[in-house]
Amino acid sequence: MFTIGEFARHGRVSIRMLRHYDATGLLHPAHVDPASGYRYYTAAQLARLNRIIALKDLGFTLQQVQDIVDEKVSAEELRGMLRLRRAELETAMAAAGARLVQVEARLRAIESEGHMPTNDVVVKSVPAVRVAELTATAASFEPEDIGPVIGPLYDELCRRLEEAGITPTGRGVASYEDAPEGGGRISVHAALQVSAPLQEGAFRIFDLPSLGRAATIVHRGSMDTVLPTAQTLARWIDANGYQSTGYPREFGLECPENRDDWVTELQAPVTGPDQPRLRHMPVA
């Protein structure tokens, strides 16, 4: 028989972990000396330990591991658990990829702090436009929260417009506002320009109000990397004595299949030192 230290070395685990497995019932020692309390294990128990380690490496909880090694899970149930775990890992990989894009964007913003060109910011009036729109709520205004919401919104809007026999007449316009429920949540409005009567139903058709004065800047590339451009615009607004009166709209100028080739104009409503701060009311 092996002492707990010897068994830990053979199993490539810590003594602390073996004690934890004993306490949870996952792997009891083959023998415990009643006088000293020393734990002893047999070579045959290495097979169970190896299976526990393999299942833990797959991301199963200790309770799931115990059910599997104790054969309380059928082969079909195990296949289902593995399929679910595969889906969870795929989701985690996609989320990690999105976070990596954001980290790179933030890194570029930090590295270029104070040195990004601002001469491409233009203050202008943005006219009203008729749009068809769907709305949903995002957890925050962070790109990693906005992206998973606005993409499906546009897909669903295109599907519903096609069903209604309405063809968009222009580019997309995304706009944002604080959600009524608060907590930092954002109402996301995905809209496409149309030429159709006003309506409510499977989607809303209305006239998106004009912006009397907007500070605008052009972003080139995927919206996953918009942060440096948005920060350039925010710094310009502050440095030139303007005040932002709402979240920037995102007007799609070019939206080819390759998202890295997108061209999007950010349109931030502003007031200046010579202009009273106005509140833009939504069109009924």
Cα-trace Rg, the chain: 29
Q: Please enumerate in sequence order all residues whose Cβ is within 8 A of that of 74, keeping only pairs 6 or more positions apart, or say none.
A: none
The C-alpha angle with vertex 236 and arms to 282 and 131, in degrees rounded to 5, equals 25
Q: Using pLDDT thresholds of 50, 70 and 90, give the confidence band for residue 78.
A: confident
| pLDDT 10s digits, 62-76 | 999 999 988 888 888
pLDDT at 281: 33
What would the two tokens of residue 273 be? Answer: 């030192």
| 133 within 8 A of 154, measured Cβ to Cβ | no
Q: What is the mean pLDDT of residues 266-272?
A: 92
User: Whole-angstrom Cα distance, residue 127 to residue 213?
Assistant: 10
Q: Using pLDDT thresholds of 50, 70 and 90, give the confidence band for residue 273.
A: low
Q: Please enumerate in sequence order all residues whose Cβ is within 8 A of that of 256, keeping only pairs 6 or more positions apart, or say none.
A: 262
- Encode burial over 121-144: b for 16+ CB neighbours within 10 A, e otherwise: beeeebeebbbbbbbeebeeeebe
- For the chain, what is the mean pLDDT? 87
Q: Which of 190, 242, 194 is nearest to 216 (CA)?
A: 242
pLDDT at 275: 56
Q: What is the mean pLDDT of residues 193-214?
A: 94
Q: What is the mean pLDDT of residues 239-261?
A: 90
**Alpha-carbon distances of 11 from 8, 49, 69, 142, 191, rounded to whole Å:** 5, 7, 16, 45, 59
Q: Tell me, rounded to whole angstroms, the distance of Cα 92 from its chain centroid.
A: 11
Q: What is the mean pLDDT of residues 228-250?
A: 90
User: Whole-angstrom Cα distance, residue 271 to residue 215?
Assistant: 9
| pLDDT 10s digits, 85-129 | 889 888 888 878 867 876 776 676 566 655 545 457 889 999 999
CA dihedral 217, 219, 220, 221 (to 10 degrees): 180
Q: What is the mean pLDDT of residues 147-152?
A: 92
> Would you give the DSSP letter of residue 43?
T
Q: What is the mean pLDDT of residues 11-26?
A: 92
Q: What is the mean pLDDT of residues 159-177?
A: 94
| 18 within 8 A of 8, measured Cβ to Cβ | yes
Beta bridge partners of 188: 136, 176
Q: What is the mean pLDDT of residues 23-32?
A: 93
Residue 276 scores a pLDDT above 90: no
pLDDT at 38: 93
